[in-house]
Chains A and B, each alone.
Chain A
């Protein structure tokens, strides 16, 4: 099916572990984004990518790493997870017209 998917949908990990969240879109959109959503803060941009091999920091990039070797994939890695990274993570994409479409989200718990 066309669209944007995220995996896993739920993840529990321990403090200090590395974890990678996957995002895949089938629209061939140029731009992809990672957000986190926390109560009281709304959605905050972590990283975005304008095209394959082009990434840039958003509002809250510390503790996260991204890569984009293929247009359709935009994985987000937490190099050493901390409890403060417990959140719901959303991936989004756009063709460049600003209208972002969101994936279903990944609920991450760091214990």
Chain B
């Protein structure tokens, strides 16, 4: 069974803080890794993707991948109330995309 696990939260951080979201996966053949943001009642929106071990930064977002530990994380720096959403981790192996159930993040002003 190919599984993607995320802490469901809710994760609450104050405005301006760093939010850290974590994800583990079971399929060692996974090749690409994604973070989606989903606002309530809306569709998932791609915010980061990473293919290689290490860090990838894009603005306030940093994705981290450790294939040996089967671990993906997302850091959001200078968190804003508009970052309040559910964050979905997704792991892809030859178009077999598996999603975690998501972590709900609340950023308090």
Cross-chain contact A50 with B95 (CB below 8 angstroms): yes
| Chain A, interface residues (CB within 8 Å), range | 20 to 34
Chain B contributes a number of interface residues (CB within 8 A of A) equal to 21
**Residue on B nearest A45 in the bound complex, by CB:** B97
Are B92's CB and A42's CB within 8 A? no
Complex formed: what's the CA distance from A90 to B88 in Å? Answer: 14
* Residue B14 interfacial (CB < 8 Å): no
- Cross-chain contact B97 with A100 (CB below 8 angstroms): yes
Nearest Cβ in chain A — how far from B44, in angstroms? 5
Q: Quick check: B99 and A99 within 8 Å, CB to CB?
A: no
CB within 8 A of B49: which of A48, A58, A98, A105? A98
Query: By the criterion CB–CB under 8 Å, are A98 and B92 in contact?
Result: yes
Q: Are A104 and B102 in contact (CB under 8 A)?
A: no
Q: Mark contacts of B90-109 with chain A using CB atoms, 8 A cut-off: 1 yes-contact digit, 0 otherwise.
A: 10100111111110000000
Contact surface of A with B, Cβ cutoff 8 Å: 31, 33, 35, 40-45, 48, 50, 56, 58-59, 90, 98-105
